[in-house]
Chain A
Amino acid sequence: MARIVIDPVTRIEGHLRVDVEVEGGSVKNAWASGQMWRGIERILLGRDPREAWIFAQRICGVCTTVHAIASVRAVENALGLEIPKNAQYIRNLIVIAHALHDHIVHFYHLSALDWVDVVSALQGDAAKASALAESLSPWPMNGRLQIQAAKDKLRAFVDAGQLGLFANGYWGHPAMKLPPEVNLLAVHHYLQALEYQRKANQVVAILGSKTPNIQNLAVGGVANAINLDNQATLNMEKLYMVKSLLDEVAAFVHQVYLPDVCAIGAMYGEWLQYGAGVTNYLAVPDLPLDVKGTQFDLPGGTIMGADFSTHKPIKSFDDPYFKDNVEESIAHSWYDGAWQRHPFEEETVPKYEAPKDDGKYSWVKAPRFQGKPMQVGPLAQVLVGYVGGHEPTRRWADLALKTVSGIAKAQVTPAMLHSTLGRHAARAIRTAMLAEMAQRHWELLVDTIAKGDTAIFNPPSFPSGEVRGFGFHEAPRGTLSHWTVIRGGKIANYQAVVPTTWNASPRDGNGQRGPYEASLVGNPVADSTRPLEVLRTVHSFDPCLACAVHTLDPEGREISRVKAL
Chain B
Amino acid sequence: MGDDAFGPWVIQTLLSEYEFPDDVSVEDLGTPGLDLMPYVIDLEALVLVDTVRSAAAPGTVRLYRRDELLKNPPGPRLGPHDPGVQEALLAGEFAGRGPREVLLVGTAPVRAAMGGGLSHALREAVPRAVAEVLRELERLGRPATRRPEPRSPDVWWEDEPAARGHAPP
Contact = CB atoms under 8 A, between A and B. Distances in A.
B44 interface: no
Nearest to A12: B112
Interface stretch (B9-17, B81-89, B118-126, B128-136): B81-89
A562 interface: yes
B167 A549 contact: no
Interface string A42-86: 110111000000110010111010000000000000000000000
Contacts of A6: 76, 78
A552 interface: yes
A45 B33 contact: no
Given A485-B169, A552-B52, A110 B77 contact: yes
A307 B83 CA distance: 40
Given A212-B32, A549-B4, A554 B79 contact: no
Nearest to A191: B95
A60 B31 CA distance: 7
A381 interface: no
A415 interface: no
Contacts of A550: 4, 31, 50-51, 81, 83
Contacts of B115: 39, 42-43
Nearest to A197: B38
Contacts of A15: 78-79, 81-82
B34 A62 contact: yes
Given A110-B77, A165-B94, A548 B169 contact: no
B81 A558 contact: no
A45 B77 contact: no
Contacts of B139: none
Interface string B22-40: 0000001111111101100
A10 interface: yes
Nearest to A345: B169
A16 B86 CA distance: 20
Contact of A61 (B33, B69, B72): B33
Q: 4 tightest A-B contacts by CB?
A: A61-B31, A39-B114, A46-B161, A167-B73
11 contacts: A42-B114, A62-B35, A157-B94, A165-B74, A165-B91, A168-B77, A212-B30, A493-B167, A535-B78, A550-B4, A554-B68
Given A345-B169, A554-B64, 8 more contacts: A10-B53, A40-B114, A45-B165, A101-B35, A163-B73, A547-B33, A549-B1, A552-B52
Interface of A: 6, 8, 10-13, 15-16, 18, 37-40, 42-43, 45-47, 54-55, 58, 60-62, 64, 101, 105-106, 109-110, 153-154, 157, 162-165, 167-168, 191, 194, 197-198, 201, 212-213, 344-349, 466, 485, 490, 492-493, 535, 538-539, 542-545, 547-562
